[in-house]
Structure 1
Amino acid sequence: MTLALPVRAAETEHRALLRTARDVAEDLAADAIARDRTGAPPLDEAARLREAGLLAALTPPGPDRGTDWRTGCAVIREISAADSSVGEVLARHYANAWSGRFFADGPRADELEEESLRGQWLWTGALRGPAPEDGTGPADLTLRRRGTGYLISGRRAVATAVTVADQILVDALCPATGDVLVLRIAPGARGVSLEPAPDRLGQRVAGAGELVLDRVTVPARLILGRRPQDEEPAAPGTALAGPALRLALCHVGLGIVEGALTEARDLSRGGHGHRSPGGDPDLLLTYGELATAAQTATAVVHRATDVLAAALGAGPHLGTGRHADTGPHLDHGARPGTGAHLGTDDPATVAALVATAENVTSKAALDITTRVLELADAPGLDRFWRNARVLTAHHPATTRLRSIGEHYLNASHRVVAAAFH
């Protein structure tokens, strides 16, 4: 009986958090079309998330704080079905809030999470390596030693909340040492400029823009840790950082799918579709196909979510702890906090499953949001297609498929990991 009490308490907290997420989603859905048309920075949206306690809740789990990975992703999906721009803000906040565990040592990670919780920080970030993806050209952000800290200069695109976030996570090259360091930038610091990106095709309320840094002082306490270079093996926990963000965004994609199908179905039932919903066999066939595609994507994403949740439960500080080096042995049914060991090859298994989830979800989101426009005619229905296009535009399917094939055929973990930088 004593063992059942913590489980029941966790289930109660899980249900309460999802109820809160549904309440916020209903509030966001009421004016989603108007806010999408305006495309303003998400000041009001961030305030709604903060007032509801979602920013504080969606942080890594610890004693009397945070949310486990499965529940956090369920909240992201709920919000995304109502407004995927806000869902992406929350997804990137949650994934970046884990960065202390991915990159920092144990005490620093604990301190950072407690400070974030006290301040109810909204996180965003752009970790993408020191140079463009084709490997040419100079680094966009560079560090120079100054005393015990650094000066950082350059500019970088940020996908969400660039003008409203409390902490912006970036990685930057230090030419003197060749190290790529992961650090956080406070938007109000001297030398920091924030430039919003207006008139986006989709995800208009996500608050995308550019971070511009002019000799900004970075004291040592703002350095989380070191990010391995592309050819350098990463600690197993550190290698989960990329897949964690990508999987959180998969849940945004699922939210877009659910929101588009629900809105189209309600329009068809209300007589606003292009065809009567009565007994039209073609209409029933179409909805059957779309519902099947949505459920297939959901199943694939849920499997990846379970496996990543087990990996994140392997230890409280993933990036710096010691891990067994005996090959893949994740218990795919394990719950976070069970103490499962994370082997050096396990991140490859996680990354391959996340790449599969991303591929299936991207295809489903683009297909479903296109086809619902043929089923119903109503203002604002096109926002789902626009949002899906923007969310998936920068991650080519061919790269993911080659990485999945490399992992499947050659049991390689290097290529899969590289696909997520």
Structure 2
Amino acid sequence: MGVATAPSVPASDSERTGPGRTHWQRVARETADDLATDAVAREQAGKAPFDEVSRLREAGLLTLLVPHEFGGGGADWPTAYAVVREIAAADGAIGQLLACHYFLSWSTRLFAKAARAAEVERRTAAEGWCWGGGLGPQELPLTLTRKAGGYVLDGRQSYATGILVADRLAVRAERADTGQPFAVVVDAARLGVRIDDDADTFGQRLAAGGNVEFDAVPVAAQDVLGSLSADEDVLSPRAALSAPVGRLLSVQLLLGMTEGVLAEARDYSRAGHHAPRHPDWPVGSPQDPQVLTTYGELTVLARSAAALADQALTAVHGGLARGAGLTFEEYAEVSALVAIAEAAASRAAQESTARALDVIGARSVSSRLGFDRFWRNARAHTLYEPVTHRLRDVGDYFLNGAHPPFVLPVRP
């Protein structure tokens, strides 16, 4: 395995229509600052994030990836990744909610026919839809049964991001007659869709996750977007790219959490909020050699993970630019780079969110400060996306040249 030489990058911001990346990064920063002001109180209240979604909608962030000619922001994936990372630094759960929305709403471009994808994106922009659900495999798959004029959808998805606030659900379902998996879009308000919030997770509580049950829900043929089969005879390299695109959202989410906890811990240390431990250097003091070493180690972890994420982003962006010309060999290299970035980001997030508590000391147990939310959010996310699988894929690719499997993220 070499370092991916990604295909040429698409048009720069100056060649695109609509606001540029600088505009959206400023909007994301302002929205993140707004979310940060009451992040602890909102997380502890644990209410469904309708207000937070309204903030994202009003800022124009929900339609960021929708083409400008369809009424959206016309931004590219590098911009969307930067936005997710900025939001996640302030509120990891809302970062996940936004990441899931981006991935699911954009996926219609890869799995649906062009005319249908355009129609969906126009309506997403016009009606301000928020998307939720998930396209990753689950132990008990949803079932699509053919009926006159379309299909019916049955089954239960045990956890899905965003469904408590979603206008549209994108889910994975298997054809009852063939067992082939498909991406399916469902109106969340449709008769037969039952959503509950009994997931009761200890982290990412504001990601609007919950369980959804489908009881003979009618599905029009046009709402069965396309196959999610991992068979290379069915799956094109371009469609396969949806997996690393979605997984790189997870990377940005973890990097955001890492940067967020380090920034808050640094501010706390600088402000002199610490308790006596050593006559010369109190706990958390900017002069404590142990504190300096810890911050140094965590900064190296965060910066290393960010550098690997940048390499993966270049590869993903280049792969998207290749479109139908992308080969499976190129896809495999892109996928491996994203897996490497996932492993580094997972380690950085888990170590930073845990060790930041040690730097702050015993006062970090205060629920009023809310430092625990970073650890809980990062740990909840990494439990759904185990890094062990990604390391195995990278090792198999490096040693044996095996293509990383087509695995869509469970929680993008």
* Same structural fold, with TM-score higher than 0.5 when normalized by the shorter chain: yes
Worse-superposed segment, 172-181 or 46-55: 172-181
Q: Say if 2:354 is the partner of 1:370.
A: yes
Q: Which residue of 1 aligns with 2:384?
A: 394
Q: Which residue of 2 aligns with 1:28?
A: 35
The letter for the 2-side match of 1:142 is T
CA distance in 1, matches of 2:56, 2:13: 27
Question: SS at the partner of 1:380?
Answer: coil
Task: Name structure 1 gaps, 5 residues minimum.
Answer: 133-138, 316-322, 324-340
CA drift at 1:212: 0.5
Question: SS at the partner of 2:75?
Answer: coil
Q: Which residue of 2 aligns with 1:108?
A: 116
Question: SS at the partner of 2:184?
Answer: strand
Q: Which residue of 2 aligns with 1:358?
A: 342
CA drift at 1:375: 1.0
CA drift at 1:38: 1.0
Superposed CA RMSD in Å reads 2.2
Q: 1:309 aligns with which of 310, 317, 320?
A: 317
Does the 8 Å contact 2:135/2:408 carry over to 1?
no
Question: SS at the partner of 2:241?
Answer: helix
CA drift at 1:229: 4.4
CA distance in 2, matches of 1:276, 1:108: 56
CA distance in 2, matches of 1:5, 1:286: 39
CA distance in 2, matches of 1:396, 1:103: 26
CA drift at 1:290: 0.8
CA distance in 1, matches of 2:292, 2:47: 38
Q: Which residue of 2 aligns with 1:126?
A: 134
The higher-RCO structure (CA 8 Å, 6+ apart) is 2
Q: Which residue of 2 aligns with 1:160?
A: 161
Does the 8 Å contact 1:400/1:419 carry over to 2?
no
CA distance in 2, matches of 1:6, 1:64: 18
CA distance in 2, matches of 1:12, 1:165: 26
Superposed CA offset, 1:112-152 (max 9, x none): 222212122111221123x52xxxxxx43111111121011
Q: Which residue of 1 aligns with 2:406?
A: 417
Worse-superposed segment, 87-96 or 271-280: 271-280
CA drift at 1:346: 1.7
Q: Which residue of 1 aligns with 2:56?
A: 49
Question: SS at the partner of 1:218?
Answer: strand
CA drift at 1:280: 2.0
Superposed CA offset, 1:353-372 (max 9, x none): 11111111011100010000
Distance of aligned partners of 1:420 and 1:199 in 2 relative to their CA distance in 1, 3 Å threshold: closer
TM-score, length-scaled by structure 1: 0.86
CA distance in 2, matches of 1:231, 1:347: 12
CA distance in 1, matches of 2:249, 2:407: 18
CA distance in 1, matches of 2:264, 2:340: 27
Could you tell me the percent identity over the aligned residues?
40
CA distance in 2, matches of 1:342, 1:61: 25
Q: 1:348 aligns with which of 332, 349, 352?
A: 332
Does the 8 Å contact 1:273/1:375 carry over to 2?
no
CA distance in 2, matches of 1:63, 1:117: 7
Q: Say if 2:400 is the partner of 1:404.
A: no
The letter for the 2-side match of 1:416 is P
